[in-house]
Amino acid sequence: MKKTIAVLGLGRFGTAVAKTLQDLGHDVLGIDANQDRVDLLSDQLTHTVVCDCTDEESLRSLGLRNFDIAVVAIGHDVEASILAVVLLKEIGVPMVVAKAASELHGRTLTKVGADRVVYPEREMGYRLVNTLLSGSLMDYIELSPEYTIMELAATGPLAGKTLKELNLRAKYGVTVIAIKRGAGINAAPLAADEVKEGDVLVLLGSNKSVRQLERMLQEG
Show the domains of the chain with their CATH numbers: 4-118 (3.40.50.720), 123-219 (3.30.70.1450)
pLDDT tens digits, residue range 3-46? 999 999 999 889 988 998 888 889 999 999 999 999 999 999 99
- In the Cβ-directed half-sphere of 183, how many Cα atoms lie within 13 Å? 0
Spell out the residues 6+ positions from residue 162 whose beta carbon is closer than 8 angstroms to its own. Answer: 191, 192, 193, 194, 195
| CA–CA dist 127, 139 (Å, integer) | 7
176 within 8 A of 163, measured Cβ to Cβ: yes
| pTM tops 0.75, yes or no | no
**The pLDDT of residue 126 is above 80:** no
Q: Which DSSP symbol is given to 44?
A: T
Helix ranges (DSSP H) in 68-190: 78-91, 103-111, 120-132, 163-166, 168-172
pLDDT tens digits, residue range 153-196? 887 788 899 999 999 988 888 888 888 888 788 877 899 999 99
b/e string for 136-160 if b means 16 or more Cβ within 10 A? bbbebebeeeeebbbbbbbeeebee
pLDDT tens digits, residue range 55-81? 999 999 999 999 999 999 997 789 999
